Amino acid sequence: MVETTRFPNAPITEALLDIRVTLPAQTDLAKLATFHDAIKQKYPSKQERLAWRGHVEIKASPVPEVSQSATGGPDGYLFTSVDGRQVVQARLDGFTFSRLKPYDKWTTLRDEAQELWQHYVRIASPEMVTRVALRYINRIEIPLPMRDFKDYILTTPEIAPDLPQGLGSFFMRLVIPDPKAQAVAIVTETMEPIDESRNRLPLIVDIDVFRIASFNVQDNAMWEAFEYLHDLKNDIFFKSITPKAKELFQ
């Protein structure tokens, strides 16, 4: 059974629910802008979203040349709640809802996303859902002095025993397929600079779980997939931390 313990001081700094779609040709930015009409009382702030892609080309002969180019522009809008803690994106490639700290619980996040998704469906008329994802970014503030990362988290970088064991910084990314959930998890860990004022070392544990599949827009199977993804996210998090870490969240 997947652990679902709720902590008074949960380390989640941001939780995101993302749905990628294909849209009909007639759905453009002007149409997406009308999304605001349905939600502006709760999400009064509107901002254009820009997306850019870079391209580097290397020609080897007759004389080596390197050329760079960037393409892109607006691809949707971001709408922010009155308190600035919730953001919804309506884009030409999909929909995202995110909640900043403090995080309440999964059902609160899911229910708000479902309500906003229905507005997106009505306005954007998506033809098909192609990908669903959840992403939880955790910031674990480890008190110093610290003997070993493994006192708090079980998945950590290993340094060869004959090398100096001090670690000034690190960035680790794991891609973990899960056939049972028909999903993939990307777990990223890194550390931020020490908070000298509080004598804490912030450890970032970023868990991104997704499933690439085709769902009908109004099919409940998509939301059932989100439940599996949430269970997978919880499984990864709770099996990666120690009892000592849990004490930090009380």
The pTM of the full predicted model, rounded to 2 decimals, is: 0.89
What's the burial of 193, exposed, middle or buried (CB within 10 Å: 0-12/13-18/19+)?
A: exposed
Tell me whether residue 163 is in a domain: yes
Tell me whether residue 159 is in a domain: yes
DSSP letters for 28-60: -HHHHHTHHHHHTTT--EEEEEEEEEEEEEEE-
CA 238 to chain centre: 18
Tens-binned pLDDT, residue by residue, of the chain (250 aa): 677 788 999 999 999 999 999 999 999 999 999 999 999 999 999 999 877 565 456 666 566 666 565 556 788 999 999 999 999 999 999 999 999 999 999 999 999 999 999 999 999 999 999 999 999 999 999 999 988 889 999 998 888 989 988 888 899 999 999 998 899 999 999 999 999 999 999 999 999 999 999 999 988 999 999 999 999 999 999 999 999 999 999 9
pLDDT the model gives residue 219: 85
Tell me whether residue 29 is in a domain: no
Tell me whether residue 156 is in a domain: yes
Please, are residues 129 and 211 in contact by the beta-carbon 8 Å criterion? no
Domain total for the chain? 1
Cα-atom radius of gyration of the chain, to the nearest Å?
A: 21
Tell me whether residue 248 is in a domain: yes
Please, are residues 94 and 21 in contact by the beta-carbon 8 Å criterion? yes
DSSP assigned state of 150 = G
pLDDT the model gives residue 46: 96
Kindly give, in sequence order, each residue whose CB lies less than 8 Å from that of residue 243, ignoring residues fewer than 6 positions away: none
Distance CA 187, CA 156 (A): 11
pLDDT the model gives residue 49: 87
Q: What would the pLDDT profile of 115-129 be if each residue is shown by its tens digit?
A: 999 999 999 999 999
pLDDT the model gives residue 71: 52
Distance CA 120, CA 32 (A): 8
Tell me whether residue 144 is in a domain: yes
Tell me whether residue 180 is in a domain: yes
Tell me whether residue 190 is in a domain: yes
- Structural domain boundaries, residue 165: 1-15+134-212+220-250
Distances in Å between the alpha carbon of 241 and those of 122, 141, 205?
41, 13, 10
pLDDT the model gives residue 60: 61
